[in-house]
Structure 1
Amino acid sequence: PAPDRPGRRPRGDQPGRILLVDDEAVVREVLAGQLEDAGFAVTQAADGTAALAVLEAGRCFDILVTDLAMPGLDGVALIRAAQRRKPALPAILLTGYAGDAATLAVGNAVGGRFVLLRKPITGAELADRVASILEAAEPAVTTG
Structure 2
Amino acid sequence: MLVHKRVVRLNEKPRIRYGPMLIRDQERIANLNYIYNCNDIEALWMLRMKRAPFARLVQTFRSRGLLQDSIHTSVEEQVAMFLHVVGHNQRLRVVHNTFRRSMETISRYFKQVLYVVGELKGEMFKSPTGRTPTKIRTSPRWYPYFKINNIL
Q: TM-score, normalised by structure 2?
A: 0.25
In terms of fraction of residues, the more helix-rich structure is 2
In terms of fraction of residues, the more strand-rich structure is 1
Q: TM-score, normalised by structure 1?
A: 0.25
Q: Which has the higher contact order (CA 8 A, sep 6+)?
A: 1
